[in-house]
Amino acid sequence: MSNTNPTNTINLGLRARRIVRLAARFVNPLVLLFAGRRWMPVVGILYHRGRRSGREYGTPIGMRRLGDGFVIPRTFSDKAAWYQNVKAAGEARIRYLGREYVVVEPEVIDYATAKPAFPRYERLQFRLIGINEYLRLRVASDIAIEPRSPGRTLNLALVVIALAQLMVVLDVAIVNVALPSIQRELHFAATDLEWVVNAYAIAFGGLLLLGGRTGDLFGRRRMFVIGALLFTAGSLAGGLATASAYLVAARAAQGIGAAILAPTALSLLAATFSQGPERNRALGVYSAVSASGGGIGLLMGGVITTYLSWRWIMFVNVPIGLLLALAAPRVLIRGEGKPGRLDLPGAVLATGGVSLLVYSLARVATHDWSDAVTRATFGIAIALLVAFVALESRGRDPLMPLRIFANRNRSGAFGLSLAIGAALSGMLFLLTLFLQNVLHFSPLQAGFAFLPTAAGVVVGAGLTSRLIGRVGPRVAMTSGALLVAIGMFWLSAVTVNATYFTNVFGPLVVLSLGLGMAFVSTSVTAISGVRPNESGLASALLNVGRQLGGSLGIAIMGTVATTAGFGSAFEIAGAMGIAGFVIVLFPVRQGRSPAAAARSAEDEVAA
């Protein structure tokens, strides 16, 4: 049944109509309460920033062109402050699509007259909040707006990208400190508490490849916003959780959002900053955030758990996520995707294989390798990943084109990200236990103990971003791997009689410098020279390596610490650093055509 009367309820079907009416019942009073406020442009209100102070009118989000003027939704009364300001001034200066317009002669029009100017989804929103009248403004003149300085725009874009990455990496570690409080309040069984961490890790690691590829296909900025909103919704749900199952589901939702957000953030950075010193500096900031996020997360977790509540560990992400979603369309480039078919069989195999691999490695922390479920899931994961690689080698439009591994430096970067991720995650996990159980640090003191790591990472990342253009990616990666190995071997000397400044502080400084170098050099190398429509995939592979490495490191080092002590476990972390050094120095050669070899050589020079 069609609805020809625009004043009637939109015909959405009986059930949908009830939902619309219910939503309007709650939304309409809220909008009425704030109608006319200067800070409410989000509902399409033309607002006045202060004529007397000489400031201009803002841009109404709900404004659309119609004929020789503009149409905007009208709020609910002529007494609204913004409407009186427009009438008193006689004209208004507004901005729209890069131009500034002087508009005059405000005229009230009805829904039928204004309807052609708005897309259907906006008309539905306005009807829901009770707007039935619109204001038409005639254009008197217009001028082009002077664009913002490129430097400012790039800096704002970097802030948004770095903030997104910080939010993602924080949640890997921030929850660990709060687990005892979560267990007491939500009555988690001891065997189920691990799922607060594992639900996030499995969803994040399992969907990274798919999340990165969707950005390449459907638009990176669009997927960035979707990822930020999913992460925010999961954080809000987690903070409000009243039962263990709800919190686990919320953590999984966070992981899904992070799997979209992390690779699209790095690919947007690659698309925004030109290859060379400009991109290297941006990657220095990005990598410093990535490498120090674990230590910052432990510190924030300790502070929030001590002085507030574990729920604020979740709630803190909500304003950040909303800010990212609102800022992204204004400061990030669109990053249009390349039309193509999503490789669904490959997506299923990759997601299943990586998810089961992360799960099996995480399960080792509470069950040893002799556990039947652990061995079964590990075997199935390997089989799925082998099938995935075989499928991708034959597919016409694969989820992961294998040519991305043709560049030797890039392959080394992926391998080093796996090794460094294993060493870093294992170290954070075990050193936190050592500080609290052996040195008897409080959660807050343990968090502050990792501050040297954050500082060292920032220094190492800053130096590497400036020097990598001179020394080359391989020197930077091998140097970072060696420093990580030295720091880990030094840390292996800890005993029950150790003290923080004698046995822990120095190793943390050394290995953190190496972490900063390794994170910057692997990030630069992974995205340098890749095709524009594959930067999301390269970013995802880098993150997959770090995520899988993290699960592998915790599984192996946790097992060693249980059987042989903390010192032996940190020796394993040092061996992982050496393994990363070898991977970079002697990457596996792959058979290639002369043309592919030439392209790879060009990539190495560019990197």
> Is 343 exposed, middle or buried, given 0-12, 13-18 or 19+ CB atoms closer than 10 A?
buried
The pLDDT score that the predictor gives to residue 486 is: 92
Task: Assess whether pLDDT exceeds 80 at residue 176.
Answer: no
Q: 123, 144, 165 — which closes off a domain?
A: 144
Q: What mean pLDDT, rounded, does the chain reach?
A: 73
How many domains does one find in the chain? 2
Give the residue, 118 or 165, on which the prediction is more confident: 165
The pLDDT score that the predictor gives to residue 435 is: 84
Residues 103 and 188 in one domain: no
**Can you spell out the DSSP letters for 272-308?**
HS-TTHHHHHHHHHHHHHHHHHHHHHHHHHHHHHHHS
Residues 140 and 178 in one domain: no
Residues 90 and 221 in one domain: no
Residues 140 and 159 in one domain: no
Which residue matches tokens 């204001």?
135
Residues 411 and 292 in one domain: yes
Q: Enter the pTM of the model.
A: 0.65
Residues 314 and 429 in one domain: yes
Residues 114 and 224 in one domain: no
- Domain residues for the domain of 62 are 14-144
Residues 176 and 105 in one domain: no
Task: Assess whether pLDDT exceeds 50 at residue 82.
Answer: no
295 falls in which pLDDT band (50, 70, 90)?
A: confident
Which amino acid is it at 304? Answer: I
Q: 98, 117, 144 — which closes off a domain?
A: 144
Residues 449 and 583 in one domain: yes
Q: How many CB atoms lie within 10 A of CB 16?
A: 11
147 falls in which pLDDT band (50, 70, 90)?
A: very low
Q: Is 491 part of any domain?
A: yes
Q: Is 192 part of any domain?
A: yes
Task: Assess whether pLDDT exceeds 70 at residue 89.
Answer: no
231 falls in which pLDDT band (50, 70, 90)?
A: very high
The pLDDT score that the predictor gives to residue 393 is: 76
**CATH number of residue 69's parent domain:** 2.30.110
**CATH number of residue 473's parent domain:** 1.20.1250.20
Residues 77 and 179 in one domain: no
Residues 67 and 187 in one domain: no
Best-predicted range by mean pLDDT (186-195, 462-471, 508-517, 547-556): 508-517
Say how far apart CA 72 and CA 288 lie, in whole Å. 44
Say how far apart CA 294 and CA 5 lie, in whole Å. 58
Residues 201 and 137 in one domain: no
Q: 144, 171, 187 — which closes off a domain?
A: 144
SS3 label, residue 78 = coil
Residues 6+ positions from 150 with CB-CB distance below 8 Å: none
Cβ-contact 382, 375 below 8 angstroms: no
Q: Nearest CA to 160 among 364, 330, 400?
A: 330
* Beta-bridge partner residues of 65: 70
